[in-house]
Amino acid sequence: MGKLDGRVFVITGAARGQGEQEARLFAAEGARVLLADVLDEPGERVAGEIAEAVGKERVRYAHLDVGREEDWAAAVAVAKEQFGKIDGLVNNAGILRFNELTATPLEEYELLVRVNQIGTFLGLKAVAPEIEAAGGGTVVNTSSYTGLTGMAFVGAYAATKAAVVGMTRVAALELAAKGIRVNAVCPGAVDTPMANPALLDPDGPSPEAAEAMAALYRKVVPLGRPGRPEEVARLALFLSCEDSSYVTGQPFVIDGGWMAGVSIL
Ligand code: NAD
């Protein structure tokens, strides 16, 4: 028996990275899943691979730009047409830009707000009523280590991720009576194209670049390595199933110990 048998989830940013692993794991745990992204070709491919494993009636892909309210309405309609209900949401889609805060162009700041912050808000707004209608369920938002502590050169991103933590708490308070639990994952550095763009290079990173990256993680992360997207997916699974039945309104750090403090060893 799977931990998500009978449940229907919408997972955003599911074409790659953490969202892809969440979709694969949730389907393996018995869920029916609508994968949504702006990257349609890889999104369709991942959905096709999951369908081969669990059956095509359990999986669907939809184009969804999380910053567009009309896209959310369309994606909700697709999920309901295919699965009849929605009782879980993973707001995972996000983008990152590096810039000194005071040098950040307004357009860049607004883009990050649009995708990371407004995208999460629109997901809650579009899907929470469906979850309520289905008798309750769960929402997992995706914040970040940088939503809870400072990190230079990711000012706009950090601001949006702090907003996601605030939104998570308020949504948990307002939706608890409707049977909806809302929590957030706050990853540190996770080995996906966002944190490691060389993964998108067909040749991969050069050995020197790979070693420089590995050395950096050995130095700053107590567990000595970046996280794997599968590890974040397991936390999202915990927050989406009955194992976390008394947990709501919380940000959960998953960072290999990075935020625990400063080590002089
Ligand atoms: P990723 O770049 O590999 O994947 C992000 C996915 O989101 C992509 O498939 C992308 O196409 C999709 N996406 C981007 N904009 C979108 C939009 N407007 N609408 C719909 N989909 C969109 O990155 P990832 O590491 O898998 O990131 C997943 C989430 O985790 C993000 O919210 C990110 O901010 C967060 N996060 C990542 C890290 C990390 O180190 N990788 C750390 C902390 C938080």
Would the CB of 104 count as within 6 Å of ligand 1?
no
Beta strands in the chain (DSSP E): 8-12, 32-37, 59-63, 88-91, 137-142, 180-187, 251-254
**DSSP assignments along 93-105, one per residue:** ------B-GGG--
**Would you say residue 133 lies in a domain?**
yes
* Tens-place pLDDT, residues 79-112: 999 999 999 999 999 999 999 999 999 999 999 9
Would the CB of 195 count as within 6 Å of ligand 1?
yes
Would the CB of 17 count as within 6 Å of ligand 1?
yes
Would the CB of 46 count as within 6 Å of ligand 1?
no
**Would you say residue 219 lies in a domain?**
no
* Tens-place pLDDT, residues 180-232: 999 999 999 999 999 999 889 888 888 998 899 999 999 999 999 999 999 99
**Would you say residue 182 lies in a domain?**
yes
Collapsed DSSP state (helix, strand, coil) of residue 253: strand
Indicate the pLDDT class of residue 265, thresholds 50, 70 and 90.
low
157 given a catalytic annotation: yes
Whole-model pTM over 0.85 = yes
* pLDDT value of residue 203: 87
What domain range is 78 assigned to? Answer: 8-190+227-259
**Would you say residue 64 lies in a domain?**
yes
Catalytic-role residue among 61, 157, 217, 246: 157
**Would you say residue 52 lies in a domain?**
yes
Gap from CA of 193 to ligand 1 centroid (Å): 8
Would the CB of 39 count as within 6 Å of ligand 1?
yes
Considering its fold, how many domains does the chain have in total?
A: 1
Identify the residue whose C-alpha is closest to ligand 1 atom 19.
65
* pLDDT value of residue 262: 86
Determine the Cα–Cα distance for residues 248 and 81; give it in Å rounded to an integer: 29
Gap from CA of 264 to ligand 1 centroid (Å): 32
Mutate to test the pocket of ligand 1, among 145, 168, 185, 190 (most ligand atoms within 8 A of CB): 190
Say how many C-beta atoms besides its own lie within 10 A of residue 135's C-beta: 11
Determine the Cα–Cα distance for residues 75 and 213; give it in Å rounded to an integer: 38
**Would you say residue 118 lies in a domain?**
yes
Determine the Cα–Cα distance for residues 200 and 39; give it in Å rounded to an integer: 13
CATH of the domain at 245: 3.40.50.720
**Would you say residue 25 lies in a domain?**
yes
The first and second tokens of residue 113, run together, are 């707000």
**Would you say residue 166 lies in a domain?**
yes
